[in-house]
Every structure is written in C-alpha cells, then in structure tokens.
Amino acid sequence: MMVDTHCHLLKEDYDNLDDIIMKMKDNIIIASGYDSKSNLEVIDLVNKYPNIYGTIGFHPSELDDFSSDSLNILEEQLKNPKIVGIGEIGLDYHYDDTDKDRQHDAFIKQILLANKLKCPIVVHSRDAALDTYEILEKYLDTKAIMHCYSYSLEMSKKFINLGMYLGIGGVLTFKNSSKIKEVVLNTDLSHLVLETDSPYLTPEPFRGMKNEPYNVYYVAKEIASIKGIDIEKVFDETFKNAKNIFNI
C-alpha cells in the first residue's frame, strides 16, 4: 500500500478531484492545509473520503489570518479523528519581505500545541535550515516529518537525530537532484516517507504536468532504483513509517 503523506487537493486546482482520489482508493492520502480556508477544505475531504486523512495548520508564508484564536480553532478541529496532525508549518525565508519574528512565533506556538495534543507535525522549511533546526531542537516533543526534504545529507542526520522523518517527493526524480539522491542513498528506509506535494513538483516522467497523489508510485520507484532494492520493500517500509507517525 502507498501513502502520499503530503499533498494539497483544493477544488480550485482540480476539476477531476473524484477521479484522482478514486485512483488511490486502495492507498492512503494525507491532505494538508496551510491557512484557515484550506484547513476547512481538508476537513471536508476527510469527512467525504474514507482513504483521506488530513493535517491542518498555518504555513509560514500564509500567516495573515493567524492569531491566538487560530490555535483554539485548530485544537477544536483536531478533535476530528481523521485530522491526524498539524501542518504544514515551519519557516520560509525565500522572499525578501519575510517577517522572521512572526514566522518563529507561529511555528513555535503550533509545535507546542502538537506537543500538548501528542499529534505529529509536518514541517515546511525553505532557505531556513539552521533556524528550523534550532527551533525544533529546542521545542519538538512529538513525531515530525521534514516535508519535501531538500537540504544536505549532513543536515538530514541532524533532523533524524531529533527523531524526525524525511518526506521524499518528486524532486528526487529530477535530473539535477544529486543532493537529494545522495540523502536517499545514505538514509535508512526507516526514516523516509513518500509524498507528492500535489499539485506541485510532479515527478518524471510527468514533469510539467499537474501532480496528483498516485504519482508517489514514481517517487517510490526512484528510491528503489537508487537503493537497488525492490519497490515493494519501499512501499512496505514507508507505509509502516506513515502508520507509526500518524497513527492511522
């Protein structure tokens, strides 16, 4: 069985949502929110489809409507048994106008909520490896995934030492992705999970088209080829990891 541990399935991005979800009917999808509106869409999806679970939270670049109220709302929404974690949350320094203090504040508050509820977090981190690591090292006390892992092998060891898992997505299949290939080659399967980050980051051979959860198959295939192992082993181990993280 395959688990897409991170994707965004918003109505505005797909006119064939039912079809792409049906394609995964024997597999599991974990849909992720990133702000108030998308969190509500995730809740609708998990209530409608048996094979979809969800994570909800406030992405570092989507903090306009994040307030102290948001934490109470998240806590209430997390009572839904199919909402299985907080994410995506984290730090993103990609844009020049980044308000780092605000990002740190929202990230830490959401980690503390996850610690309290004993639910996992899904971390987004872009151009912010060291600050992300320092905050996690100081505050993380629950299970966690570094979603769409894209930093160095050396950093990956530090995140894994915190007990974290690495989310591996379509970038792995790109020709110029030697850094992440090196991470996968040198990291035991017991620390990896599969994801697509749909509708973005479509793997080869479909790069350039809209991504969808079924494409985790191509990520698994690439991991199997890099490690020289059977694809079934990749499915089994990453499924076990996802089950353990999200308690599904």
Query: Is 92 one of the binding residues for Ni ion (CB under 5 A)?
Result: no
Distance (Å, rounded) from C-alpha 28 to C-alpha 152? 29
- Strands (E) located in 104-171: 121-126, 144-146, 165-168
Least distance in angstroms from the C-beta of 239 to Ni ion: 20
Least distance in angstroms from the C-beta of 200 to Ni ion: 7
Q: Which stretch binds Ni ion (CB under 5 A): 91-99, 194-202, 213-221, 239-247?
A: 194-202
| Whole-angstrom Cα Rg for the chain | 17
Query: Is 35 one of the binding residues for Ni ion (CB under 5 A)?
Result: no
Beta carbon nearer to Ni ion, 42 or 140: 42
- 67 Rama sector, left if φ>0, alpha if ψ -120 to 50, beta otherwise: beta
The secondary structure of residue 211, as a DSSP letter, is P
Query: Is 62 one of the binding residues for Ni ion (CB under 5 A)?
Result: no
C-alpha distances (whole Å) from 42 to each of 6, 162, 214, 224 are 12, 28, 18, 31
Query: Is 4 one of the binding residues for Ni ion (CB under 5 A)?
Result: no
Distance (Å, rounded) from C-alpha 183 to C-alpha 230? 19
Query: Is 212 one of the binding residues for Ni ion (CB under 5 A)?
Result: no
Q: Which stretch binds Ni ion (CB under 5 A): 44-52, 108-116, 195-203, 219-227?
A: 195-203
**Selected binder of Ni ion within 4, 62, 195, 197 (CB under 5 A):** 197
Size of the site for Ni ion (CB under 5 A): 1
Site residues (vs Ni ion, CB under 5 A):
197
